[in-house]
Amino acid sequence: MIGGIYMKEWLGWQKGDWGAYFGLLANNLTNYFTMAGLLIFTVGFPAEFVYTRIAPNNVGLCFANKVNRGNIGIVGASGTGSQELSVRIQEFGGGISQLIGTGGRDLSEEVGGIMMMDGIQALEADEETDVIVLISKPPAKKVAEKILKFAGEISKPVVVFFLGEVENTETVPGIYFAKRSKEAAIQAVVLAGIDEETLNKRALNLPLIEEIKGKLKPEQQYIRGLFCGGTLCDEAMFAAMEYFDNVYSNIHPDQNRQLKNNNVSQEHTFIDFGSDEFTSGKPHPMIDPSTRIDRFLQEAKDPEVGVIILDFVLGYGAHPDPVGVMLPAIEEAKSFAEEEGRHLEILGYVLGTELDEQNLTEQIKKLEDVGVTISSSSQNTGLLARGFVQKEVTK
Dist CA 152 CA 167 (whole Å)? 17
**Region label for 67, one of left (φ > 0), alpha (ψ between -120 and 50) or beta (otherwise):** beta
DSSP SS3 for 266: coil
For residue 61, the model assigns a pLDDT of 58
For residue 19, the model assigns a pLDDT of 45
Over residues 73-80, the mean pLDDT reads 93
Burial 16-44 (b: 16+ CB within 10 A, else e): eeeeebbbbbbbbbbeebeeeeebbbbbb
Residue 257 in this model has a pLDDT that exceeds 60: yes
Dist CA 305 CA 177 (whole Å)? 34
CA angle 68, 73, 78 (to 5 degrees): 100
Dist CA 157 CA 177 (whole Å)? 11
Cβ within 8 Å of residue 174, ≥6 positions away: 151, 152, 154, 155, 156, 157, 158
Residues 119-136 pLDDT 10s: 999 999 999 999 999 999
Dist CA 282 CA 314 (whole Å)? 19
**Chain centroid offset of residue 336 CA:** 30
For residue 168, the model assigns a pLDDT of 62
For residue 364, the model assigns a pLDDT of 98
Over residues 337-356, the mean pLDDT reads 97
Over residues 192-219, the mean pLDDT reads 95
| Contact between residue 273 and residue 80 where contact means Cβ atoms under 8 Å apart | no
Over residues 143-162, the mean pLDDT reads 95
Give the side-chain half-sphere CA count within 13 A for 371.
17
| Contact between residue 350 and residue 312 where contact means Cβ atoms under 8 Å apart | yes
Domains of the chain: 39-198 (3.40.50.261), 206-389 (3.40.50.261)
Residues 88-100 pLDDT 10s: 999 999 999 999 9
| Contact between residue 70 and residue 89 where contact means Cβ atoms under 8 Å apart | yes
Cβ within 8 Å of residue 70, ≥6 positions away: 89, 94, 95, 96, 97, 192
Closest CA relative to residue 67, chosen from 387, 314, 333? 314
Alpha helices (runs of H) in the chain, residue ranges in sequence order? 4-11, 18-35, 46-51, 79-91, 114-125, 141-151, 181-191, 206-215, 230-241, 276-279, 293-300, 322-339, 360-369, 378-389
DSSP SS3 for 376: coil
| Contact between residue 134 and residue 157 where contact means Cβ atoms under 8 Å apart | no
Cβ within 8 Å of residue 253, ≥6 positions away: 138, 164
Mean pLDDT of the chain: 86
For residue 13, the model assigns a pLDDT of 37
Helix (H) or strand (E) holding 373: strand 373-375
Using DSSP bridges, classify how beta strands 222-227 and 158-162 pair: parallel, antiparallel or unpaired. Answer: unpaired
φ/ψ of residue 35, rounded to 5: -65, -30
- 8 vs 58: which has the higher pLDDT: 58
| Contact between residue 48 and residue 80 where contact means Cβ atoms under 8 Å apart | no
